[in-house]
Each structure stands twice: as structure tokens, then as C-alpha cells.
């Protein structure tokens, strides 16, 4: 099973990814997590990405596409994967199409979490508070100012992917404003239809 989770920052992609990982045993490939790891490790990619991420902008397509191309080759991704935070531009989506076609594999679905933009700032503030309360480091881009830039980037560069994937027939929309468990139920009922492929 190969799926993309689409939705603005704070829509619940990370939370739902964790649950999908647990239920279906496929890895979550989060470009945000991979880039944060590269920044922490001080790799050349990390050095290039650091300031862009801190300001809420998007890392160049070529950098991110390269990271994903390497990651999908790893053994744990052979049976499937969840892409979280990628693609984020139509260019990235086209690069992904080419990459998957070359490997002879295809996406099963693109799940979009539809959320009320006004609720997102509150969600991000809550995420930062809860992370701090657990004694974990808070993401530098989870501040209200940077969040606004991230949301603007989403609206300009990522939201057009909804139409892109609607055009391919892969898009499925879920109301992301529902309680977390209800969103999970709807995701699961959708993905159970693809389960056969996940174990084949």
C-alpha cells in the first residue's frame, strides 16, 4: 500500500501516520522528519535546509526529491509507505510520478485532511505546549509567526496538489476537524480496501 497524506501543517498528518504505521506495518516517510535529522546531523543537505526550515519556507524540490528517491529504496519501504509532507509542490508530484513509474510501482491513494484554517494556529500552539510539557524540544517553526509563513507556503504551493490528484482519480478527502479517533476510523475504512495490496 502506497499512500500520500495531504493537508496543511497541523491537519493531523503526523498523528494519523503513527496510527497507520502501527496498523498496516508500513513506514512513514516524513520529509520534515528526514530534513530535521539532516539538520541535527549537520549534513550538507541539513546545512542547506536549516535556515529555510526555520523561516517556514520550502526546501528546493531537487533536494527533497533526492531524499525521497533514496528512502523509498530501503528495505522497509518495499511493501509500501506513507508519504507525509511530500510532495509539497506540483513539481515534486511530477517527479514522484516519474520516480515511481521507473520503479514500476504506483500510488494507491492520496488522502487529504480538510481542515478549517482558523483552527490550525490553535492546534500548533497546543502541539508546542504538549511537546514542552513532555520535556521534548519544541520545533523552531511551531511559533505563530513562522506558522503563518508555512500556511502561506501550503496555500500557494501545496494546495494545488488537491486538484492535481483529483485529476488522477487518486484523491480521497476526509474531514480533519472531527475528533482524532473518528478521523482514524475513516482513514482505516478507506485503507482497508487497499490492504490486500499491502500484503501481496
> Could you give the string, one character per residue 100-129, with x where binding to ligand AMP holds by CB under 6 A and - elsewhere?
------------------------------
Query: Around Cβ 157, how many Cβ atoms within 10 Å?
Result: 18
Choose between 153 and 174: whose C-beta lies nearer to ligand AMP.
153
Choose between 93 and 191: whose C-beta lies nearer to ligand AMP.
93
88 binds ligand AMP (CB under 6 A): yes
Query: Measuring CA to CA, how many Å separate 174 from each of 11, 57, 123, 156, 179?
Result: 11, 26, 18, 21, 12
31 binds ligand AMP (CB under 6 A): yes
CA dist., res. 188 & res. 14, Å (int)? 15
27 binds ligand AMP (CB under 6 A): no
Query: Measuring CA to CA, how many Å separate 155 from each of 17, 71, 179?
Result: 22, 27, 24
Contact between 93 and 65 (Cβ < 8 Å): no
Pick the binder of ligand AMP from 11, 26, 45, 59 (CB under 6 A): 59
Question: Is 168 annotated as ligand-binding?
Answer: no
* Catalytically annotated residue among 123, 127, 173, 195: 127
- Compute the CA torsion angle 34, 39, 45, 50 (nearest 10 deg): 110
The one segment of 17-25, 48-56, 105-113, 186-194 that binds ligand AMP by CB under 6 A:
48-56
DSSP three-state, residue 163: helix
CA 113 to chain centre: 11
Choose between 26 and 153: whose C-beta lies nearer to ligand AMP.
153
| Interface positions with ligand AMP (CB under 6 A) | 9, 31-32, 35, 52-53, 56-59, 64, 85-86, 88, 92, 141, 150
Amino acid at each position: 500500500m502506497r499512500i500520500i497524506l495531504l493537508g496543511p501543517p497541523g491537519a493531523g498528518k503526523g498523528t494519523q501516520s503513527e496510527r497507520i504505521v502501527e496498523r498496516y506495518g508500513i513506514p512513514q516517510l516524513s520529509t520534515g522528519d528526514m530534513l530535521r535529522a539532516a539538520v541535527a546531523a549537520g549534513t550538507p543537505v541539513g546545512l542547506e535546509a536549516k535556515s529555510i526550515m526555520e523561516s517556514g519556507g520550502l526546501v528546493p524540490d531537487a533536494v527533497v526529491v533526492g531524499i525521497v528517491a533514496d528512502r523509498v529504496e530501503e528495505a522497509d519501504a518495499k511493501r509500501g509507505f506513507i508519504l507525509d509532507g511530500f510532495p509539497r509542490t506540483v513539481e515534486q508530484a511530477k517527479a514522484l510520478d516519474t520516480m515511481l513509474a521507473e520503479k514500476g510501482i504506483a500510488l494507491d491513494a492520496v488522502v487529504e485532511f480538510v481542515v478549517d484554517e482558523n483552527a490550525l494556529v490553535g492546534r500548533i500552539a497546543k502541539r508546542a505546549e504538549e511537546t514542552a510539557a513532555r520535556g521534548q524540544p519544541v520545533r523552531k517553526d511551531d511559533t505563530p509567526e513562522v506558522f503563518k509563513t508555512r500556511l502561506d507556503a501550503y496555500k500557494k504551493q501545496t494546495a494545488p496538489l488537491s486538484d492535481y490528484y483529483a485529476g488522477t482519480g487518486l484523491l480521497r478527502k476526509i474531514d480533519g476537524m472531527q475528533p482524532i479517533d473518528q478521523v482514524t476510523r475513516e482513514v482505516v475504512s478507506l485503507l482497508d480496501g487497499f490492504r490486500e495490496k499491502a500484503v501481496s
